[in-house]
């Protein structure tokens, strides 16, 4: 049953950090309700039984900070999210009850995850999408060993932070990755991606053969795209698994749907380990999209590259980043956004509102 009203929790209680048990489900749901109100875009986290089922199946690996009374005052997790690679887990859902934010609960949860999950049984691909209205999540991901590789601009809706007055607009998110796979894959990228790759690739310490040219032959297969719309968050995100001869018409159809739904954030993640992904770059760049960054092992045995479009003028000013490298990445993305504004054709079906 969906939790509908907050359960009050006394401040200044001592707490322990441990893995999730079924009895913690209502406490985790109460924590999400207390922090986000009813605005969290993934409804599952308001249902104690769904949280327990996801932990039982292995799709969600929750760690909780809880008091002797059983009150859950903090949560963090590894979970399967939007990546196509079944061995990719996202590090996130790190939330702390407001009155416990000075208790080191976030650090203790991150430390538990690192020592008891990641160090003992590291996933092939671990990534985080850390919010940038504060640097805490970014720093904790860096502590665990993740490295920055992409930045999605104005991704999360302001409504998620209204309850705690945590943002004055949409919030950008920083992708950080830790790869535990020694295989070498080919990567086919558009030349506009080169500066970003030169910045983010070396620290990842993995093997890739990177090409910045189109294949000599044309695509023959049909396009395969898997994605999802989140109307409540005004986001559409699509994985281009295979770029085929019909890519332009398929992509244009999804763009039209986004226009009709007044979507504010539209993302395509191109499978760059198949050679014809470069053709998807040409299509999307022609329609006003700009670079977001590299997503290693996002696909099964292959990497992704994020391209993004925003309905409104992006808010680059209020992005709070923790490292010089992240700031340089933001600078490259700002430059590419300006290039997108100048190069997109005037008859583009997507128009930026400034």
C-beta separation of 174 from 129 below 8 A:
yes
Considering the domain architecture, whether residues 193 and 333 belong to the same structural domain is answered as yes
The pLDDT of residue 344 is above 90? no
Domain termination site, one of 109, 140, 164: 109
Residue 310 is predicted with a pLDDT of 96
The pLDDT of residue 216 is above 50? yes
Residue 179 is predicted with a pLDDT of 97
The pLDDT of residue 349 is above 50? no
Radius of gyration of the chain (CA): 20
Domain termination site, one of 79, 109, 139: 109
Q: How confident is the model at residue 251 (pLDDT cuts 50, 70, 90)?
A: very high
Asked whether residue 177 is assigned to any structural domain, the reply reads no
Considering the domain architecture, whether residues 218 and 333 belong to the same structural domain is answered as yes
Considering the domain architecture, whether residues 196 and 292 belong to the same structural domain is answered as yes
Q: Which residue has the higher pLDDT, 216 or 53?
A: 53
Number of domains in the chain: 2
Q: Give the C-alpha separation, 142 to 138, whole Å.
A: 6
Residue 210 is predicted with a pLDDT of 96
Asked whether residue 220 is assigned to any structural domain, the reply reads yes
Check which CATH number belongs to the domain holding 202 and give it: 3.40.630
Considering the domain architecture, whether residues 334 and 229 belong to the same structural domain is answered as yes
Mean pLDDT of 33-55: 93
Average pLDDT of the chain is: 92
Considering the domain architecture, whether residues 212 and 105 belong to the same structural domain is answered as no
Asked whether residue 143 is assigned to any structural domain, the reply reads no
Asked whether residue 249 is assigned to any structural domain, the reply reads yes
166-200 pLDDT per residue, tens: 567 899 999 999 999 999 999 999 999 999 999 99
The pLDDT of residue 338 is above 80? yes
The pLDDT of residue 313 is above 90? yes
Mean pLDDT of 125-154: 95
Considering the domain architecture, whether residues 220 and 81 belong to the same structural domain is answered as no
Asked whether residue 123 is assigned to any structural domain, the reply reads no
Q: How confident is the model at residue 41 (pLDDT cuts 50, 70, 90)?
A: confident
Question: Which of 70-79, 161-170, 252-261, 343-352 shows the lowest per-residue confidence on average (mean pLDDT)?
Answer: 343-352
Considering the domain architecture, whether residues 193 and 66 belong to the same structural domain is answered as no
Query: Measuring CA to CA, which residue among 234, 268, 259, 78 is closest to residue 160?
Result: 234
Asked whether residue 197 is assigned to any structural domain, the reply reads yes
The pLDDT of residue 354 is above 50? no
Domain, as residue range, for 247: 185-343
Asked whether residue 154 is assigned to any structural domain, the reply reads no
Asked whether residue 311 is assigned to any structural domain, the reply reads yes
The pLDDT of residue 347 is above 50? no
Considering the domain architecture, whether residues 56 and 197 belong to the same structural domain is answered as no
Considering the domain architecture, whether residues 105 and 218 belong to the same structural domain is answered as no
Residue 164 is predicted with a pLDDT of 62
Check which CATH number belongs to the domain holding 73 and give it: 3.40.630.30
Q: How confident is the model at residue 42 (pLDDT cuts 50, 70, 90)?
A: confident
Considering the domain architecture, whether residues 66 and 201 belong to the same structural domain is answered as no
Considering the domain architecture, whether residues 192 and 337 belong to the same structural domain is answered as yes
Considering the domain architecture, whether residues 192 and 81 belong to the same structural domain is answered as no
């Amino acid at each position: 049953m969906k939790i509908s009203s907050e359960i009050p929790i006394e401040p200044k209680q001592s707490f322990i950090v441990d893995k999730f048990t079924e009895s913690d489900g209502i406490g985790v749901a109460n924590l999400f309700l207390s922090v986000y109100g009813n605005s969290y875009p993934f409804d599952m986290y308001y249902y104690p039984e769904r949280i327990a089922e996801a932990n039982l199946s292995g799709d969600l690996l929750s760690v909780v900070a809880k008091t002797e009374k059983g009150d859950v005052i903090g949560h963090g997790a590894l979970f399967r999210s939007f990546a196509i690679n079944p061995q990719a887990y996202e590090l996130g859902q790190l939330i702390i009850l407001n009155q416990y934010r000075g208790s080191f609960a976030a650090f203790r949860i991150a430390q538990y995850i690192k020592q008891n999950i990641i160090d003992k049984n590291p996933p092939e691909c671990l990534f985080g999408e850390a919010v940038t209205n504060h640097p805490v999540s970014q720093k904790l991901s860096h502590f665990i060993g993740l490295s920055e590789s992409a930045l999605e601009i104005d991704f999360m809706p302001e409504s998620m932070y209204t309850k705690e007055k945590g943002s004055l607009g949409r919030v950008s998110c920083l992708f950080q990755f830790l790869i535990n796979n020694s295989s070498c894959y080919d990567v086919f990228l558009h030349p506009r991606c080169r500066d970003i790759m030169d910045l983010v690739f070396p620290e990842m310490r993995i093997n890739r053969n990177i090409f910045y040219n189109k294949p000599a032959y044309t695509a023959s297969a049909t396009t395969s795209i898997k994605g999802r719309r989140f109307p409540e968050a005004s986001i559409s995100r699509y994985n281009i698994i295979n770029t085929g001869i019909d890519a332009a018409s398929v992509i244009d159809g999804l763009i039209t749907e986004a226009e009709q739904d007044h979507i504010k954030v539209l993302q395509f993640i191109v499978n760059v380990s198949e050679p014809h992904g470069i053709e998807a770059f040409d299509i999307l760049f022609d329609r006003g999209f700009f670079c977001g960054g590299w997503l290693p092992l996002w696909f099964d045995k292959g990497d992704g590259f994020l391209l993004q479009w925003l309905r409104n003028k992006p808010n680059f000013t209020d992005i709070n980043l923790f490292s010089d490298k992240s700031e340089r990445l933001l600078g490259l993305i700002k430059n590419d956004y300006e290039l997108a504004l100048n190069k997109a054709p005037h008859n583009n079906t997507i128009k930026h509102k400034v």
